[in-house]
Amino acid sequence: MWKWIQAFASPQNFYYTAKKIIPWFLYPFIALTLVGLYWALIKSPPDYQQGDSVRIMYVHVPAAWMSLFIYVVMAVAGGIGLIWQIKLANVVAVVSAPIGAAFTFLALVTGAVWGKPMWGTWWVWDARLTSELILLFLYLAYMSLNNAFDNPKTASKASSVLAIVGLVNIPIIYYSVEWWNSLHQGSSIGVTKVSMHIDMFIALLLISFAFKFLYGVLILMRARDELLVREQNSRWVKAVVMEGKNND
Amino acid sequence: MIDFLLFDKYVYYIWFSYLLTFGIIIILFIRTKSIHKNTMIQLRIKYTREK
């Protein structure tokens, strides 16, 4: 198993394997998005209290889940890179940051757009919203710190430490609605109980999985380019670039 | 069919959210493609100079 991981994690192997894997993420992403949109906009019923505005949930909640998920991936990958010096782990951490920041931005904006008709305001300095905004700042700080160094190794070390320290914000975001009085509603999905209509739950799941596959596509595509830059002195990269072996 | 486009009084809020999501996904793909293109150009220039 360890040998397989080592072989897959070698930059050259990953570069070629990633290209083969990309369609396995791209086509499910497209299919799940189309079916998810049908479920979210047509099939799922309006909420008995919130009416049709509940349809914003199908993009807001998956985006918020992705913002947390990607941050955890980024911090764990950064930690692996820091401890075991695996190049690919650092690459995964670095390329995840802008994607995570985009999902966090999306969660914040769609949340504000949902908040206006439901709460009567775009924004409140409530624990959930504020901690999610801090998450966006953590992503931006990670990217800035990573770009502040010329040497990618030093940059990865510094930014990984920041990512790991920032992990403390993840449980704060998740439990903020339980720990503090919040305008934000609590979770409707528990481990054993789902307190929403089945069609709403299906729509939510479809778009959540679509976003997961989207992240897969983007991370594979971006990691390949980041590897080319970091391994630019290797013979295989020169071959890829000059002989057009990647056929891109 | 047109009913599903209207969503009562929430039409602007809902469609803005979905269009923003679509826009961000498109931007992420375009940015990824442009990073790839720039990387290849920069590396080709570097290797050509080294020859």
As averages over each run of 10 residues, the pLDDT of chain A (248 residues) reads 70 92 97 96 88 93 97 96 91 97 98 93 92 97 94 92 96 90 76 80 96 98 95 92 66
Measured distance CA(A138)–CA(A148) in Å, rounded: 15
Give residue A46's pLDDT: 87
Give residue A152's pLDDT: 86
Give residue A29's pLDDT: 98
Rounded-to-10 torsion of CA A209, A212, A216, A219: 160
Give residue A111's pLDDT: 95
Q: Does B34 touch chain A (CB under 8 A)?
A: no
CA distance B24 to chain A (A): 7
Residues of chain A found within 8 Å of residue B18, distances taken between Cβ atoms: 37, 41, 59
How is residue A189 written in tokens? 């999905």
User: What is the residue type of A156?
Assistant: S
Measured distance CA(A8)–CA(A232) in Å, rounded: 19
Contact B17 A113 (CB under 8 A): yes
Measured distance CA(A186)–CA(A209) in Å, rounded: 22
Give residue B28's pLDDT: 97
Give residue A75's pLDDT: 97
Residues of chain A found within 8 Å of residue B46, distances taken between Cβ atoms: 232
**Mean pLDDT score of chain B:** 90
Contact B14 A55 (CB under 8 A): yes
3-state secondary structure at position B15: helix
Which 13-32 residues of chain B touch chain A by CB within 8 A? 13-14, 16-18, 20-21, 24-25, 27-29, 31-32
What interface predicted TM-score (ipTM) does this complex get? 0.92
Give residue A61's pLDDT: 95
Taking the alpha carbons of A64, B23, A133, A117 in that order, is the dihedral positive or negative? negative
The CA R_g of chain A, rounded to the nearest whole Å, is 20
Give residue A57's pLDDT: 95
Q: How confident is the model at residue B17 (pLDDT cuts 50, 70, 90)?
A: very high
Nearest CA among A59, A88, A90 for reference residue A74: A90
